[in-house]
Amino acid sequence: MPELKYISGFGNECASEDPRCPGSLPHGQNNPQICPYNLYAEQLSGSAFTCPRSTNKRSWLYRILPSVCHKPFESIDQGYVTHKWDEVDPDPNQLRWKPFEIPKTSQNKVDFVSGLHTLCGAGDIRSNNGLAVHIFLCNSSMENRCFYNSDGDFLIVPQKGKLLIYTEFGKMCVQPNEICVIQRGMRFSIDVFEETRGYILEVYGVHFELPDLGPIGANGLANPRDFLIPVAWYEDRQVQGGYTVINKYQGKLFAAKQAVSPFNVVAWHGNYTPYKYNLENFMVINSVAFDHADPSIFTVLTAKSVRTGVAIADFVIFPPRWGVAEKTFRPPYYHRNCMSEFMGLIRGHYEAKQGGFLPGGGSLHSAMTPHGPDADCFEKASKAKLVPERIADGTMAFMFESSLSLAVTKWGLKTSCCLDENYYKCWEPLKSHFTPNSRNPTGPN
Ligand SMILES: [Fe+2]
């Protein structure tokens, strides 16, 4: 596959023409009486027309046929996609899943859309407030099928197998340890090259932003220039038997046929685009004296709620870094959090749990449910010599952290058969080291 080109920057006003059609962007206006190359102009709005400039998002697409050229949408099989948050009774326990099983290519062909499984979520699609966590498990490319989401944005975290993503804005290749965001309404189709797995954070009604940096200053964490946007690419392709456009609308799946490929955008401009980001580019900031900074210091992207400082969901990573804190218990501390924490592992071992939490699996620590290092980790870290040390080399764990209280689906709790019933046992060996007659700590033994 030839190397793909990208435009660099987060949220910029960009413009791109397929090099086969130079001058395909109209000059000086968006909507000429006749567009260059006799293309159709179409606006894709990602925000209310009247949003302030800082949050106003739209792009203009110049395409061979407008998106409206399709047969009516009809309801199709939902598979394991759901937005019903009362399928099973609530469960406040710490939950952990073994790696979710990918269907074998030799058994049945499953593409990205038919391989979507909703694991947990909360909120309401119709009022544009909430989120869902999906797991995708697939082994085949989408053939003459594309997908778009009327409900929200997808932040896609591939864990096994690379994704070649065709979008209306061009093509992106997204490997494990990279992420991409495909925003509401954007049509895309995914090619895969092996048995493939990953995680999706869907947020309703808001878009991901870079977090404010406060006293950190102008630079750091995920830098805007490291976000990559595809360049215009089109195909003028008739499809025998019809091309299928799949739409997730109010949580349900629908399909419509059309005669041509939807990737017929010759040129586009605007600030509402898909984008990708390599997690290796994250500039990690951490304690260089003692104690921990709160894990918000690892936020890559945030989807803000209307309450100041409170996110619908944050995407947080725990990248390789140096641990240098003195007189400090260095693993994550024990805690109870008003937020819900879904964690996944792209590769390697997570620092607070050496076994059980595996790449392609997950965990959910719900609102106010206690969690922290397992007994083994506590014993080792309490006695460790506090020299500078590398943490998490070869590893990438991440968290979807939400202010909403997440409901787990029936697939998550039962059908997936991946729930680890023994998770709670990792804390059972923790024992009291209390010495009521001596303030001098001696450490565990
Ligand atoms: Fe936590």
CA separation for the pair 36, 38 (Å, rounded):
5
**Could you say which architecture CATH assigns to the domain 282-419?**
Sandwich (2.60)
How many angstroms does the Cα of residue 299 sit away from the middle of ligand 1? 14
Task: Determine the pLDDT at residue 445.
Answer: 54
- Residues within 5 Å of ion ligand 1 by Cβ? 341
CA separation for the pair 321, 87 (Å, rounded):
41
How many angstroms does the Cα of residue 371 sit away from the middle of ligand 1? 6
Task: Determine the pLDDT at residue 440.
Answer: 84
CA separation for the pair 385, 443 (Å, rounded):
12
Domain 71-262+273-279 has CATH 2.40.10.10: no
Task: Determine the pLDDT at residue 4.
Answer: 97
How many angstroms does the Cα of residue 389 sit away from the middle of ligand 1? 22
Question: What's phi and psi for 415, nearest 5 deg?
Answer: -60, -35
**Domain extents for the chain?**
71-262+273-279, 282-419
CA separation for the pair 111, 105 (Å, rounded):
10
- Known binding-site residues for homogentisate equal 350, 371
Output the CA angle 248-253-259, nearest 5 degrees: 85
Distance of CA 90 to CAs 95, 345, 425, Å? 12, 24, 21
Catalytic residue among 70, 269, 292, 433: 292
CA separation for the pair 4, 1 (Å, rounded):
8
Provide the CB-side half-sphere exposure for 66 (13 A, CA).
Answer: 8
- pLDDT of the chain, 445 residues: tens digit per residue: 679 999 999 999 999 999 999 999 999 999 999 999 999 999 999 999 999 999 999 999 999 999 999 999 999 999 999 999 999 999 999 999 999 999 999 889 999 999 999 999 999 999 999 999 999 999 999 999 999 999 999 999 999 999 999 999 999 999 999 999 999 999 999 999 999 999 999 999 999 999 999 999 999 999 999 999 999 999 999 999 999 999 999 999 999 999 999 999 999 999 999 999 999 999 999 999 999 999 999 999 999 999 999 999 999 999 999 999 999 999 999 999 999 999 999 999 876 666 788 999 999 999 999 999 998 899 999 999 999 999 999 999 999 999 999 999 999 999 999 999 999 999 999 999 999 999 987 766 5
CA separation for the pair 155, 301 (Å, rounded):
10
pTM here?
0.97
- Known binding-site residues equal 335, 341, 350, 371
CB atoms within 10 A of CB 216: 13
CA separation for the pair 347, 159 (Å, rounded):
7
Q: Is residue 292 annotated as part of the catalytic site, yes or no?
A: yes
Assigned token pair, 313: 């969901």
